Amino acid sequence: MRPSGRAPDQMRAITMEAGFTRHAEGSCLVSFGETRVLCTASVETNLPPWLRGKGKGWVTAEYGMLPRATHTRGRREAASGKQSGRTQEIQRLIGRSLRAVVDLEALGERQITLDCDVIQADGGTRTASISGAWVALRLAVDGLIEKQLLAADPIRDKVAAVSCGIHDGTPVLDLDYVEDSSAGSDGNFVLTGRGQIVEAQVSAEGDVFDEEGLLRLLRLARIGCGEIFAAQDRATGR
Amino acid sequence: MRPSGRAPDQMRAITMEAGFTRHAEGSCLVSFGETRVLCTASVETNLPPWLRGKGKGWVTAEYGMLPRATHTRGRREAASGKQSGRTQEIQRLIGRSLRAVVDLEALGERQITLDCDVIQADGGTRTASISGAWVALRLAVDGLIEKQLLAADPIRDKVAAVSCGIHDGTPVLDLDYVEDSSAGSDGNFVLTGRGQIVEAQVSAEGDVFDEEGLLRLLRLARIGCGEIFAAQDRATGR
Amino acid sequence: MRPSGRAPDQMRAITMEAGFTRHAEGSCLVSFGETRVLCTASVETNLPPWLRGKGKGWVTAEYGMLPRATHTRGRREAASGKQSGRTQEIQRLIGRSLRAVVDLEALGERQITLDCDVIQADGGTRTASISGAWVALRLAVDGLIEKQLLAADPIRDKVAAVSCGIHDGTPVLDLDYVEDSSAGSDGNFVLTGRGQIVEAQVSAEGDVFDEEGLLRLLRLARIGCGEIFAAQDRATGR
Amino acid sequence: MRPSGRAPDQMRAITMEAGFTRHAEGSCLVSFGETRVLCTASVETNLPPWLRGKGKGWVTAEYGMLPRATHTRGRREAASGKQSGRTQEIQRLIGRSLRAVVDLEALGERQITLDCDVIQADGGTRTASISGAWVALRLAVDGLIEKQLLAADPIRDKVAAVSCGIHDGTPVLDLDYVEDSSAGSDGNFVLTGRGQIVEAQVSAEGDVFDEEGLLRLLRLARIGCGEIFAAQDRATGR
Amino acid sequence: MRPSGRAPDQMRAITMEAGFTRHAEGSCLVSFGETRVLCTASVETNLPPWLRGKGKGWVTAEYGMLPRATHTRGRREAASGKQSGRTQEIQRLIGRSLRAVVDLEALGERQITLDCDVIQADGGTRTASISGAWVALRLAVDGLIEKQLLAADPIRDKVAAVSCGIHDGTPVLDLDYVEDSSAGSDGNFVLTGRGQIVEAQVSAEGDVFDEEGLLRLLRLARIGCGEIFAAQDRATGR
Amino acid sequence: MRPSGRAPDQMRAITMEAGFTRHAEGSCLVSFGETRVLCTASVETNLPPWLRGKGKGWVTAEYGMLPRATHTRGRREAASGKQSGRTQEIQRLIGRSLRAVVDLEALGERQITLDCDVIQADGGTRTASISGAWVALRLAVDGLIEKQLLAADPIRDKVAAVSCGIHDGTPVLDLDYVEDSSAGSDGNFVLTGRGQIVEAQVSAEGDVFDEEGLLRLLRLARIGCGEIFAAQDRATGR
């Protein structure tokens, strides 16, 4: 029995509230159970210097956690003067995952920045961020299409992410904070709507694992991402 | 006629959603119209070194703005590596305002940190922060009282804040972003539930002003704070 | 009786030594009693990027305190790697106060930076800075006029600042360090030569206050600024 | 045909020069072809505060790249004032990988820091770092055992890492810089001497992939790590 | 003929105003011609951690330049967030020079910090700093002796510094800014009252030099330091 | 007898391995006994802004020390976020020393950066850096000449550096770490192949010194640099 009482292949409740804020070109408040992340997409025509004049765009991400999103208050990164290694690792992963489904040439000379800010944390903040950021991105691109600023849709597919881990010997899906803290190994999978893998990352946290474990986790991830894709469809009205 | 169409002494709609997040000892999502700020109160027994062993506590605040809370995306302070002068000025004001109504001896050797994070900005983020932070503080202290950790209630009074300014020659209450940008002078007033002044701060932004102007703005602030106090009572169930 | 032995409406001795340093386009060593601040005005034609090509100039300020200006040595901000919230708050106030009396269009595409460095501190460093910075600015602009670089005088009025506070129940003018440390509430007023208010800022430091208190402090500030304006006239030979 | 002319499952030449520097408790200059990394192990009894008095130790890592280790000179991180996200991601991976084979209780209240500094880069610097750091760690622990400072050997197994990727549709082992730049997807595998997985991480870089791809890469990694384990045995005289 | 019109072995006018500020335990405003530096000595009993409990003290220095001490405004180091290499090199030299004449055991467990802040710069700021800092140090130590806090005088000798350089083929003493900018090589000498060398540092700036040049510069330095020692005696009333 | 057992005028064994790394335009691993420094020269056509369009180039240097180059591990400067004063002082000295023998006009609009990274430290790292950096520079310029990118050789002479100090009353050459720690005074001399002085810098570390001491140290430095010049010739095949 996993601590959350869920079945091994059972996701937490997923909600995605599109348009949660009004200034961003796209926004989504995503919840995976008690984990809540506000994702916004900002469209700018001011590209980073190394990309200017190449006829293509860029998609990037930043990640942050409100100081009291967690059980005990963490130090505000703006006050400590630098982003932690964890923060940087996560925002690099989010950007990479979304770029995997975007045709940067079709996007034209634009940069879209996905800001993923964790309002409340209960495990899986990076996977919720990727999944919600896709909705914000989709809405922002829809806006560009509506304004006839794009000749073709640069988004090639959906993308979603979910964590999996081996808890007490059992592979389980979508770990919450308590499960994550006690998992022998855990990882994150990023999948496309067509079922292909964008990123697979599994780490031993105490217990090493083997091929079979890796494949079982991937199979769970497919189940979870299926549910997330459905939630994305509802949120974007598709 | 002010840009918002409101009467000169008319506040925007105020909502205060207590308990918006679950980990903090107290939390409140406050809205002044389209301005939305998440305020959390974190109770820690680990005092700053200069206050240890003096038999009293401390109340402090931090302020932040999500990068896309504003019309155009601002740089994330954690990424730029420092908090702006504006951020620091605001968080100092929030802390000072709340300490004005707290008996630090009665609080005992505890620090309460109020984190005010702007989810969406449309003028008045600092006054909404102060007003909402009081609710978060109240809830956190209620929790300490419930657990019988405090002999007496350290909160002596309510505190609320509102902006006022002279727009097109007319003193108006609770400026939104458009009004604030075009006001000749504007300021912020922090008042206690008993009607006393904790902080009065008015700056000329183009147009200088005089005694009468200052008093008229203060009178408007009293009207606005009256509404905020009522909202605080509703949010804290008093 | 106030600690300094002065009457409630009595300023400390004010001296303003114009031309204290020779490289700056304008300079002034201002003393309010034992508080001494060196103010210099630097004229540059290199505007900040956001102001270029708009046909107008900018006036800004920076503030610093020598490490041993105070009773006990403070950490050098250059060594700690960042300016404190207090420093930033003060330099923003100085810049805002001076811009209130400058016609930025008439200044042309120039930036004037006022550096206010506290040589010795005994309360009121920000008000001495504003008052002395005006002299440095006046001298720098006189130089531009002399060189026929300006068609019209961009300075519309004098500006001066003074602190006031309620000490032991008595409103008093121009607090020194000891008075400031024990005042129930205190504030700073920035006034123009014509008597209008540029900035009014009063904070409760323990004791809240009311309308009457606010007005009494403002009346004291008018007395103090009158003396400062006279000193400014003497220093600039008007 | 892969750019390097190697067979798909062919590693580059591996050399490990133990004792390359003399001050460190353990050191190893590891080469994977033209990639050369100096790994040193430093034993300190001064634990990080959060670990003191818990009867166990810690193993951590830092990673750096000499400015001209690469084809074009990169900015020195000490000069830019911060470590890049990539650097932090890599050093977290190295630390995690080594901790997976160390019994921290058996290590006692000691911290061992593995510094991995890239002298010359040609792809695979993080996998060479992990593989070489293990040798430095082994030597440092051997020294502690020799001095009878440890009751039991805290190292439970060997650990090695290698990169794999899909280049032009073909899964290949141990990518050099040219291969890495043009791979459709690539990843890193960290394996123990007993063949278990410590970390599996594969990212699509343009081309998404599937289960079969993931498994094929893992099979290549097993081949590569076998060779690395042999080199580790030779370097540590086992 | 040197640009300043001075004879090759002629110092600029030296003035040393002891007690320029009142909070510091010792202070001195030193002028070498138009170069003016405020030196203060702060006595603290709070030693740096690495020196505690060793029965001896420490003397250290910090150096700064007001932004408009120079012909064109320089960036404030507190605003740029770091001290330049030049600043750090100078403050290390000042500390080393003063420690050369202090018996740190006799000083007891105290730290004396010399802050040297350049009010106006016209060449030779580091040598004026060393020379003036000695006066501030002497006054601070006199105060400790007066209060019977020291059993013996820890200052063993005077110390002074002056710059010399080869200008247009002629060795000259005490270079001002114009001379310094056009010197073929220049250096700084730090001498004790008894004529011994604490520091000799000469750099080629375009023209290399030889033994004879080095000795001639040293001979000039002896002349200059003689005058500085006399000024130090006058300033400290010896 | 000096601690190393060497004669007073005896250098440690000098080795210079040209071409130690392959990406840099020039590289050299220099050893002075157990001190080992990797020097690389990087040629870039991207000049710093203040030098563009002036028809000349620039030579600059950066210096670093691997964390465990020393007896006990030092903090990584990239992790602490800033370069120490010592690091900055050394890299300024290296750059100045090399520019003394380079005709910057003849170099054309190019910047050559010498990176000197200490692999192992045993005293004299800055002098080994200068000596080895010259070899890297020479090789990089030879490459430019070979590619017919330079009309004339911009290197006018060799340059070498060595430390000297007074140990136990005896002037000795090329101090190792133990000797350096216990020397009464020590310094560094930078000389050209023709025997002229580029930099002479001697500091008292406990014991002051006099003219004779200074000259004796310089005479030792001539002996040491003679050996280094020979090693440079061998390394560059001259």
Residues D216-225: tens digit of each pLDDT: 999 999 999 9
Q: Which residue did the predictor score with more confidence, A21 or E238?
A: A21
Query: A136 pLDDT exceeds 90?
Result: yes
Look at B32-41, C215-224, D18-27, D197-206 and tell me which has the smallest mean pLDDT.
D197-206
Q: Which residues of D148-174 are buried (b: 16+ CB within 10 A; e: fewer)?
A: eebeeebbebbbbbbbbbbbeeebbbb
Of the pLDDT bands very low, low, confident and very high (cuts 50, 70, 90), residue B147 is: very high
Give me the pLDDT at residue D80, please. Answer: 87
Asked if residue F88 has pLDDT above 90, the reply is: yes
D20 confidence band (pLDDT: 50, 70, 90): very high
pLDDT at E35 over 90: yes
Predicted pLDDT of residue A1 = 80
H-type alpha helices, D100-152: 104-107, 125-146
Q: Is the pLDDT of residue B206 over 80?
A: no
- pLDDT the model gives residue F24: 98
Residue D204 pairs with which residues in a beta bridge? D185
> What would the mean pLDDT of B9-14 be, rounded to a whole number?
98
Nearest Cβ partner of C34 from E22, E38, E83? E22
Supply the mean pLDDT for chain D: 95
Q: Over chain A, what is the mean pLDDT?
A: 95
Dump pLDDT digits (tens) for F196-208.
Answer: 999 999 998 777 8
Position E205 scores a pLDDT of 79
Residue E27: closest CA among chain C residues belongs to which residue? C68
Feature table: binding site of F for phosphate: 86, 124-126
Q: What is the pLDDT of residue D215?
A: 92
Chain B residues touching A46 at Cβ < 8 A: none
pTM reported for the whole predicted model: 0.92
Q: Do F21 and D79 touch (CB under 8 A)?
A: no
The reply to whether residue B211 touches residue C211, judged by beta carbons under 8 angstroms, is no
Q: How many interchain CB pairs under 8 A, A with D?
A: 90
> Which residue on chain E is closest to F214 by alpha carbon?
E200
Summarised one tens digit per residue, pLDDT across range E137-157 is: 999 999 999 999 999 999 999
Quote the pLDDT of residue B46.
87
- Which domains does chain B show, CATH number per domain? 14-236 (3.30.230.70)
Which residue of A77, A199, A218, A220 to mutate against D (max D Cβ within 10 Å)?
A: A199
Q: Do F44 and D113 touch (CB under 8 A)?
A: no
Q: What is the predicted pLDDT for the residue at C207? A: 78
Q: Which residues of A lie inside 8 Å of B (Cβ-Cβ)? A: 21-24, 27, 34, 38, 40, 42, 44, 62, 64, 66-73, 76-79, 81-83, 87, 113, 115, 117, 119-121
* Digit-coded pLDDT (tens) for F215-226: 999 999 999 999
Mutation target for B interface from C208, C211, C214, C219: give the one with most B CBs within 10 A: C208
Q: How far is CA B135 from the centre of its chain?
A: 10
pLDDT at D125: 98
Distance from CA of F201 to the nearest CA of E (A): 4
| Low-confidence winner among A151-155, C31-35, C108-112, D1-5 (lowest mean pLDDT) | D1-5
Nearest to C192 among B198, B200, B208 (CB): B208
Between F30 and C210, name the one with better pLDDT.
Answer: F30
The alpha carbon of residue A71 is apart from the nearest alpha carbon of chain B, in Å, by 5
**pLDDT at residue number C50:** 87
Gap between the Cα atoms of F10 and F176, Å rounded: 12
Cα–Cα distance, B83 to C190 (Å, whole number): 27
Closest-CA residue of E relative to C27 is E68
Q: What is the pLDDT, as a whole number, of residue D92?
A: 95
**One-character DSSP codes across D142-174:** HHHHHTT--SS--B-S-EEEEEEEEETTEEEES
pLDDT band at D196 (very low <50, low <70, confident <90, very high): very high
Per-residue confidence band for D50, with pLDDT thresholds at 50, 70 and 90? confident
Does residue A206 register a pLDDT over 80? no
3-state helix/strand/coil string of D77-97: HHHHCCCCHHHHHHHHHHHHH
- Residues in chain B with CB shorter than 8 Å from the CB of C92 are 85-86, 89
The closest CB to that of A89, out of D88, D200, D209, belongs to D88
Tokens of F1: 């007898």
Query: Is B30 in contact with B236 (CB distance < 8 Å)?
Result: no
Closest Cβ–Cβ partner in E34, E67, E81 for C22: E34
Of F197, F210, F213, the CB nearest to E204: F197
Q: How far is A234 from chain D (nearest CA, A)?
A: 25
Measured between alpha carbons, how far is C230 from C236 in angstroms, rounded to an integer? Answer: 10
Please check the confidence at residue E202 and state whether its pLDDT lies above 90.
yes
Question: What is d(CA E217, CA E234) in angstroms, rounded to the nearest whole number?
Answer: 26
Comparing CA positions, the residue from D81, D87, D167 lying closest to residue D121 is D87
The pLDDT of residue C184 is above 90: no
Among the listed ranges A162-176, B6-20, B188-202, B204-218, which one has the minimum average pLDDT value?
A: B204-218
What percentage of residues in chain E have a pLDDT greater than 70? 100
Q: How far apart are CA E185 and CA E207, in angstroms?
A: 6
> E163-184 pLDDT, tens per residue?
999 998 899 999 999 999 988 8
- CB contacts, 8 Å: D77 with chain F: 78
pLDDT above 80 (res C206): no
Tokens of F124: 């004299």
**D-chain residues near A192 (CB < 8 A):** 208
In this prediction, does ipTM exceed 0.85? Answer: yes
Is D70 labelled a binding residue?
A: no
A23 to B68: CB separation less than 8 angstroms, yes or no: yes
- Tell me whether residues C40 and E81 touch, CB distance under 8 A: no
Whether D107 shows a pLDDT value over 80: the answer reads yes
Residue D70 Cα to chain centre, angstroms: 18
